[in-house]
Amino acid sequence: MDVTQSSAGNTPHQLLARLSGAWAGAMRTWLEPDGQPVEARIQGSVQQILDGRFSLLLYQSTLQGEPLHGMFMFGYNTARDRFEAIWIDSFHNNTAMMFCSGEGTEQGFWVTGSYPDPSGGPDWSWRTEVVLDEPERLVITAYNISPEGGQSMAIMSDLRRLAGRSE
């Protein structure tokens, strides 16, 4: 069953299909809440997997001169009526997978997960917003959320679709 086939014009799975392709742009990472972001180039590709049930973003960049690689798999759970995601990378989460869930928005979706405080304190939360604000522009923004609820920018990737490179 191809879940992207529907009489409705804007289903969550059709959004996932529109994200498919090769992307490149700029990534800003905030290592301190009030600090200046570290900037780097980022590139990756989104491909649909399992007959359009899920999308997989594989990406690479650098952070402070070191290679950074990551994977963000996301989909829409029709039984629970929510977006879900798994996020891993070579910098932020060590060897852990972050499991996330959230809701759709007018131009994309958001998901929230949590990760352990490396100093042994309470877990922190991480909210990721995925916005396809134009067919050729994808913005992925992530926020750190302290155990007390305060939010700060963590990452912003502003990506453009690479011409002739859809997956």
The domain containing residue 78 runs over which residues?
A: 12-157
Judge whether 1 lies within some domain: no
Tokens of residue 110, six digits: 């958001």
Model pLDDT for residues 31-83, shown as the tens digit of each residue? 998 899 999 999 999 999 999 999 999 999 999 889 999 999 999 999 999 99
Judge whether 167 lies within some domain: no
Q: Greatest CA span in the chain, whole angstroms?
A: 50
Residue 87 CA to chain centroid, in angstroms?
8
CATH number for position 16: 2.40.128.20
Judge whether 163 lies within some domain: no
- How many residues in total does the chain contain? 167
Q: What is the mean pLDDT of the chain?
A: 91
Enclosing H/E stretch for 27? strand 21-29
Distance CA 100, CA 110 (A): 9
Judge whether 108 lies within some domain: yes
Q: Check residue 7 and give its pLDDT.
A: 35
Helix (H, G, I), strand (E, B) or coil at 1: coil
Confidence category of residue 27, pLDDT binned at 50, 70, 90: very high
Quick check: 8 pLDDT over 60?
no
Judge whether 164 lies within some domain: no
Judge whether 7 lies within some domain: no
* Amino acid making up residue 140: I
Tokens of residue 53, six digits: 């049930």
Distance CA 88, CA 90 (A): 7
Is there a contact between 6 and 13 (Cβ–Cβ < 8 Å)?
yes
Confidence category of residue 94, pLDDT binned at 50, 70, 90: confident
Tokens of residue 5, six digits: 């086939």
Judge whether 5 lies within some domain: no
Domain count, the chain: 1
